[in-house]
Amino acid sequence: MHQEIKPRTKILVFKDTERISTKVAQILQELKTYPKHQPIHIALSGGNTPKAIFKILHEKYVTELAGNRFHFWWGDERCVSPDHDESNFKWAYTYWLKPIGIPEANIHRIHGENDPDEEIIRYSEEMKKWIKTENAMPRFDVIFLGLGDDGHTASIFPSQMQLLDRKEWCAVATHPASGQKRITLTGNVLNNARQVVFISTGTNKAAIIKKIVIDEAPEFPASHIKPVDGETVWLIDEEAASKLPSLS
């Protein structure tokens, strides 16, 4: 099911995660229509739903999505080692990127094991080396984002709304409950992408999706992610869509 909520914002509702994965593969395949010499820059997210999607992409789309044009980055990362179970990098790399043969040089992970204040500088410099800039920000081709129950996205939490408007490309965030340090792309980087794709599933996300997509409640960071010269797409399952008035 497809609905355009507002200009340049689409919400697509699918029966299950497998069908969402098929749409993710389609989005990535469409990027390959860019001129052949042009690298394609993609930022990934963490969470349980992406884990399932990574597995499906590996199993069903090895040939279509393998190659050396895709460059993979991360929207945020916990300050843990790359082999830690909480690492966003670990699951994308283990379940998908490594098995389909993405070149190591094209995998740009956030070094969560580093001092976070030093890592935000290093990661920003790596982006400057590889990604063309527009509006003094890196221009990602697509950024995949998740959505927390509290309305956070990447690692921009409601208690740290200032990270939406930082001029820096990366920032250190703190999880409000655990106190865990995280590294995140800032809101201006997210809003400079050609396309932002939110992926969210389950009934526990239905209420917050309605508040963000329909009400545009300003207290939630995800409400502020609207690319200034791009498109926002929501890929959600039927349970997550259950409180959207036109779809219920």
The answer to the question of residue 23 being in a domain is yes
What are the φ and ψ backbone dihedral angles of 36, each rounded to 5 degrees?
A: -60, -30
Residue 5 lies in a domain: no
Share of the chain above pLDDT 90, in %: 88
Report the pLDDT value the prediction gives residue 3, as an integer from 0 to 100. Answer: 53
Burial profile 155-178: b = 16 or more Cβ within 10 angstroms, e = fewer: bbbeebeebbebeebbbbbbbeee
**Cα 233 from Cα 10, distance rounded (Å):** 5
156: tokens are 């921009």
pLDDT tens, position by position, 182-209 = 999 999 999 999 999 999 999 999 999 9
Tokens of 102: 């993405």
Which residue stretches of the chain have pLDDT < 50? 4, 248
215 assigned to some structural domain:
no
Is 147 part of a structural domain of the chain?
yes
Query: pLDDT value at position 34?
Result: 85
Cα separation, 216 vs 182, in Å, equals 26
The answer to the question of residue 218 being in a domain is: no
Q: How far apart are the first and last CA of the chain?
A: 12
pLDDT, position 248 = 45
Q: What's 60's domain CATH number? A: 3.40.50.1360
Count how many domains the chain has: 1
Identify whether 213 is part of a domain. no
Print the domain residue range for 107: 13-29+39-203+225-235
- pLDDT at residue number 36: 80
Identify whether 219 is part of a domain: no
